[in-house]
Structure 1
Amino acid sequence: MPLIPYLIHRLVFLFVLLLLCVGSFVSGGLTSGSKEDANMTGTKSCNDNERRALLDFKANLVDINNSLHDWGKKEKDCCQWVGVTCNNQNGHVTELRLSTASNGLSGKMSPLLPLLSQLKYLDLSGINFQLNPIPSSLSSLTSLHHLQISGANLSGSIPHQLANLSNLLRLNLSSNLLSGWIPVSFGNLTSLTHLDLSRSGLTGTLPHSVGKLLNLEYLDVSSNSLNGSISDVHFLNLSQLTYLDLSFNSFELNLSSNAKFSFKLNAIIKMQSCKLGPSFPMWIQTQRDFAYLDISNAGISDIIPGWFWDLPPGLTHLNLSSNEIRGMLNMTSVFESYPGMDLSYNQLEGTVQVLPSKLAALNLSGNKFSGTLSFLCQIDKSLTFLDLSNNFFSGSLPDCLQKFQKNLVVLNLSNNSLSGEIPSSLGSLSKLQALYLRKNAFVGEIPASLSNCTELRFVDLGENKLSGNIPTWIGRTLSELYALVIRSNKLEGSLPPQMCLLNNLQFLDLSDNGLSGNIPRCFGNFTAMATRGFQDDIVSHSYSSYEETVSSGIISCDKLSCLRRYYVSSSGPYALFIDNALVAWKGTRREFGRDDEDVDELWKSYYMGMGSGFGVGFLGICGALFLNRRCRYFVFVSLNNVKDWIYVIVAVYFQNLHRKLNR
């Protein structure tokens, strides 16, 4: 074959082959694409009706933060929208979780939600539904396993139709503004494992039908206005229950003494402010595996039985506070972890002989205990909180306190009969934030070793027999101090100017000592006393004038020989007690004598707060509850929250002070 025809033939052949390859590639690609599109349509694209329901849900909300920005715009497939999950096989919406995107969402619930017929998980927590009611149409979502609408500003009663959700496992309507009763029909939710109706404004009784929820593991109806009797019928068949919270209601527990509840191992039982007394609740004897027991403020006025002190080894929290329980402390249990114990404000008495070695926190305040504090040497170094105030303990402080140097945050030994010098070993407590030794008989000087406790926020050494000068190191090293009280001692000398370095100081009481000399001009710079951010007008932030001197009618010169001048900053009021004069508060002058009843009452309320314990949950109920001894409770939390607890003590104290000084 000639060369040129041969080359032409070959080129034609290659060209045809190329066309075939390209055609095959395009055809294959199109076929593949068609299959992929079909796959997308068959398994991931959402149903049109469900897409319409979601768009209507969005249309009923105001979204100021544009949290649902991708709903219905760039992305048409609702299965790809924020908070939406679909079934991979049929494309139906199975989950709608908007709690993480709820910030800035407000409005009402769409009436088209029932179109999401395959929905199993619905979480609308945190959306502001502006006091709209819970729509009864939610009962049409019969596939629901999980319904959570907590903290959503819902109002009205709980629709009894929700009992039609027979597949429901978890129901959480907590932290709303609901009203009315818990529906009796909830007894039909036999699959339910988790029921949380806490903090929702509910009234009425706890229906007996709750006892039919045989799979229930978690029940929380705390902080409502519920009342009535709680009997064996409510709990006898709840064998799966591991968490029970009836606190802060008006329940009266009438449980038979031989009732054998079969709560799960390590159960959490919270019955604070329920009426369990006057007799000690004998049914606790059948619950020997609880991990958490709170029966504080329960109207118990009985002798504590000996069997009670045989506590479960898995205990993490025990609160018997604010009752009138009598008897002696005879606790020999050995714990696996480090529990917190609050036995405060009862009628317990006698010497403390034996304590468990493993304790994270111990509050024995407000009892009638006596004897020395040698029992503290039995507790190992992990103790973080110790309150023995308002008892009859005597003797000197044991040196073994120094073993708590890496963990102890709060030490309150106020209002006892302790004596001797404050040991220098206290200076090894490097984590200490609050030291209360008020109303004892300590003598000697304030130990210089306390300068090592640089995290101290609150120091109260008042009403002892301490002598010497006010140490200069207080201003140099205790820069975190919020409150300093050394009133009613035998201190002498002048006020050190280094005190002016306490930029965070909010309360200072040096009254009833033998101090002399001038008050440093820089005392007028204690601006933190007015600017630390107390809310709700606890402290006013203005002064009408700036004053340089005070008259002899305000500063009692028969007790203060030379304190004739003081300075008040124009930036705000502050609580500054010097001898028997309150120098200024919101521009008001008022003299307080040493035995002034008002001052005594202020300190009483102050110390009532100290004995109440600490915790994150505590911050939510401070205010009036904080100052009501019968409403206090003790919650143990991580050390990161101790500063907040201490701060609230002072905030509430200032509120009390402000109210009394403006009468």
Structure 2
Amino acid sequence: MAGRSFQHLLSFLVLLLLCAKPGLGKVTGCIERERQALLHFRRGLVDRYGLLSSWGDDNRDCCQWRGVQCSNQSGHIIMLHLPAPPNEDYSQDVIYQSLRGEISPSLLELDHLTHLDLSYNDFEGRHIPPFLGSLSRMQYLNLSHANFAQTVPTQLGNLSNLLSLDLSDNYLLNSGNLEWLSRLSSLRHLDLSSVNLSEAIHWSQAINKLPSLIHLDLQHCYLPPIPPLTIPSLSHGNSSVPLVFLDLSGNYLTSSIYPWLLNFSTTLLHLDLSFNGLNGSIPEYAFGNMSSLEYLDLHSSELDDEIPDTIGDMGSLAYLDISENQLWGSIPDTVGKMVLLSHLDLSLNQLQGSIPDTVGNMVSLKKLSLSENHLQGTQLQSFNIDSYKGNPALCGLPLLKKCFEDKIKQDSPTHNIEDKIQQDGNDMWFYVSVALGFIVGFWGVCGTLLLNNSWRYAYFQFLNKIKDWLYVIIAINMARLQRSLQS
């Protein structure tokens, strides 16, 4: 009995060691129920380019199919990554090898799915299936540029584990109410670019309810203006959203956006408000406290006031574009404090006065555009002519127009006398060098022949040999010519 008990104990220990061995519990092959779901999903699509050719009975393991990834532990499908690849046959216009058709509800069988990417396919103006909101484990959803239309289903707000949502470039898609976003408490990346949000009046309040949001792209969304506040120090919702990237370009926003931006003054690195109707001046409180901001684009935003001195307080800026507005007045000297700035574009405004000397302190500046203004005086010569064109009163290199001071200096008698003296000096040294060269060359040869008898004898003997050789050559050639003429 004792021996049998010992054998049982030993067998149990061996089994325990085998189970603890790494990789022993690894599941191979996919789950049949999920495999059938994928096949059903494929039947709803038109695969013109054979992207799903690996999906079939020839390969029973669906975890090996293109775009499919399974969990090593459970075998469940966790990723369906099927963005349409670009067609390499087209060199200029990018054409994608898109799947067409509709998304089958069979995807609901993939209840462990965390990643779904169907971007750049063509779903022919269909609506986004509301049942996608039931895939509760979803963390990454990309349906961008996929020709979806109609209204974004509010059921997407049920994806409480979602980290990234991209519905951009579905030009027929709209959403009249963004309140469903407030339930996505884990969302870090949101891109709704080119989705029609013209009726989303309270869009800013919905954004304020996303406590984890870092990246927000709402360009060309027809966003309506935020209702204005009477006290600039207030912010809509007092949000603690840690936004780092914010693109609101190409909308209908006005200056009422500035107080809302204060919510992100300590976190923003990238801010694009171009192609809006901001109007008026740039408030000192709007950007002066954005100590971390590295990228600011305000071009084509209908700004029509002076550039505030506080613009120099944004010491972290590397990119600043406020071109194509109606800004007037002079360029403030404080721009020179932005020593990290590598791109500065103030073109197509109505700026006057001279270019501040402090611009020379901007050691990182690689791109400067001050063209099409009313600037005057001289400019930095370290940039090309395109940086300054369209300023009739600017002068000096690299421009062709000379400055008044240079003309006076050039036309003054003193300047002419100095030039004449310099020219005469140059002529004198030329003649001196020619004379010295003649003296050295002539006497170097002739002096040697006069003083050395053997060299003189050899020299004249050499000349006689040359004379005899030339005579013989000429005589022979003349004889040949006479014979050829006689024949």
Query: Does TM, normalized by the shorter one, top 0.5?
Result: yes
CA shift for structure 1 position 197: 0.3
Shift, 1:67, TM fit:
1.1
1:353 deviation in Å?
Answer: 2.8
Kindly state the Cα deviation for residue 180 of structure 1 after the two structures are TM-superposed.
3.6
Instruction: Tell whether 2:302 aligns with 1:299.
Output: yes
Gaps of 5+ in 1: 1-34, 378-382, 399-412, 421-663
Q: 1:77 to 1:235 in 2, by over 3 A?
A: farther
What is aligned with 2:322? 320
Q: 329, 332, 337: which one pairs with 1:333?
A: 337
Compared CA separation, residues 207 and 48, structure 1 to 2 (3 A): farther
Report the structure number with the largest CA radius of gyration. Answer: 2
The equivalences for 1:339-358 within 5 A come to: 339-354=342-357, 355=359, 356-358=362-364
Counterparts of 1:40 and 1:128 in 2: how far apart (Å)?
A: 42
Partner of 2:42: 58
CA distance in 1, matches of 2:176, 2:273: 20
CA positional deviation for 1:42: 6.6
* Seq. identity, %: 33
Structure 1 position 68 matched with structure 2 position 52: yes
Residue 226 of structure 2 aligns to a residue whose secondary structure is strand
Deviations 1:330-355 (A, max 9, x none): 2212534x621211122211111321
Q: Distance in 1 between matches of 2:125 and 2:56?
A: 27
Match of 1:125?
119
Provide the rounded CA distance (Å) in 1 between the counterparts of 2:385 and 2:198. Answer: 37
* Match in the other structure for 2:217: 220
Check 1:233–1:169 CA distance in 2 against 1; reply closer, same or farther (3 A cut).
farther
Higher helix share: 2
Give the TM-score normalised by the residue count of structure 2: 0.68
Q: 1:52 to 1:42 in 2, by over 3 A?
A: farther
For residues 230 and 122 of structure 1, the distance between their equivalents in structure 2, rounded to whole angstroms, comes to: 36
Q: Contact conserved, 1:334 with 1:358, CA < 8 A, in 2?
A: no
Distance 1:44 1:181, change over 3 A: farther
Cα gap change, 1:385 to 1:187, in 2 (>3 Å): farther
Q: Which letter maps to 1:218? A: H
Whether the aligned pair in 2 keeps the contact of 1:241 and 1:264 (CA below 8 Å) is: no
- Cα pair distance change 1:321/1:107, threshold 3 Å: same
CA gap of 1:322–1:69, structure 2 versus 1, over 3 A, is same
Equivalent residues in 2 for 1:71-470 (5 A)? 71-99=55-83, 101=85, 103-177=97-171, 178-205=173-200, 206-229=203-226, 233=235, 236-255=238-257, 260-265=262-267, 267-282=269-284, 283-313=286-316, 315-329=317-331, 330=333, 331-336=335-340, 339-354=342-357, 355=359, 356-373=362-379, 375-377=380-382, 386-398=386-398, 418-419=401-402
CA contact (8 A) 2:191 2:216 kept: yes
For residues 84 and 385 of structure 1, the distance between their equivalents in structure 2, rounded to whole angstroms, comes to: 55
8 A Cα contact 1:242 1:263, kept in partner: no
In the alignment, the residues of structure 1 paired with residue 107 and residue 319 of structure 2 have an alpha-carbon distance, to the nearest angstrom, of: 43
Structure 2 segments unaligned to the other structure (5+ residues): 1-18, 86-95, 229-233, 404-487
- Alignment CA distance shift 1:45-1:145 (3 Å): same
Rate the CA distance shift 1:239–1:111 in 2: closer, same or farther, 3 A: closer
Asked whether the 8 Å contact 2:45–2:100 carries over to 1, the reply is yes
What does residue 499 of structure 1 align with?
A: none
Does the Cα contact within 8 Å between 1:297 and 1:322 map onto a contact in 2?
yes
SS of the aligned residue for 1:208 comes to helix
Matches within 5 A, 1:448-597: none
After superposition, the CA RMSD in angstroms is 2.6
Query: Are 1:310 and 1:332, in contact at CA under 8 Å, matched by a contact in 2?
Result: no
Q: CA deviation at 1:56?
A: 1.5
Query: Which secondary structure state, in structure 2, belongs to the residue aligned with residue 275 of structure 1?
Result: coil
* Alignment size in residue pairs: 358
CA distance, structure 1, for counterparts of residue 268 and residue 79 of structure 2: 32
Is the alpha carbon distance of 1:79 and 1:325 closer, same or farther for their aligned partners in structure 2, counting shifts above 3 Å? Answer: same
Distance (whole Å) between structure 1 residues aligned to residue 181 and residue 121 of structure 2: 25
